Amino acid sequence: AQRVTQPEKLLSVFKGAPVELKCNYSYSGSPELFWYVQYSRQRLQLLLRHISRESIKGFTADLNKGETSFHLKKPFAQEEDSAMYYCALIRGSYIPTFGRGTSLIVHP
């Protein structure tokens, strides 16, 4: 079965500090992993997908198959990054699996 774990419910940092939101997954095949972001009371939006290997809004995420992780990183957090972040595993079944989400708060 697919499972996605986001160990931190809340991550609080100051502006300019580095940020790392953790995501671990369990899946026996080759995963497709995504990060979604939800700003206050808005819809979830796709932030990153691992196959594109791009940087969006300064965020990057690298798939580490050995550690089964897909952590989201940004070197210098901004206040506008405050949001809910969800890691998702989409592969091998019709059912996308989401983690429980991490709320990122960036203080001025």
Sign of CA dihedral 102, 34, 70, 2: positive
Would you call 15 helix, strand, or coil by DSSP? coil
> Does 46 interact with other proteins (rule: CB under 8 A)?
yes
Taking contact as CB under 8 A, which single stretch among the options 17-25, 41-49, 55-63, 73-81 is the one that binds other proteins? 41-49
The structure tokens listed for 94 are: 């019709």
> Does 92 interact with other proteins (rule: CB under 8 A)?
yes
Instruction: Determine which residue in the list 1, 28, 43, 108 makes contact with other proteins, applying CB under 8 A.
Output: 43
Interface ranges with other proteins (CB under 8 A): 6, 9, 32, 34, 36, 42-46, 49, 86, 88, 90-96, 98-101
